[in-house]
Amino acid sequence: MFTIEHDFDATVITLVDEGSPNLQEDVIIHAFAECVTIEQYDPRRDEVCKIEMSMSQLRDLAAALNLPEGVYRLKRRDED
């Protein structure tokens, strides 16, 4: 299950783990114009862990989900 909310400066997506006996904490994604942050609560450390990705890293991740093993460099629009 997931939710999508549109805030003033970001789109917030929350991914809820369902169906597994070993459920993980919710993952919260904040999509800003210049970057994306990913947060998840870590109960062992009792804190929220946060990762910030550039839009370029996010595009690479999206492409990588659909590619076989290997090393790749995506052609950027400004390289045309």
Domains of the chain, by residue range, sit at 2-70
Question: Are 18 and 35 within 8 A, CB to CB?
Answer: no
Question: Are 58 and 36 within 8 A, CB to CB?
Answer: yes
Structure token pair of residue 42:
């870590």
Q: What pLDDT was estimated at residue 80?
A: 47
Give the integer Cα–Cα distance in Å for 61 and 27.
16
Give the model confidence (pLDDT) of 44-68 as tens digits.
Answer: 999 999 999 999 999 899 888 888 8
pTM for the full model?
0.80
Of 2-11, 38-47, 58-67, least confident by mean pLDDT is 58-67
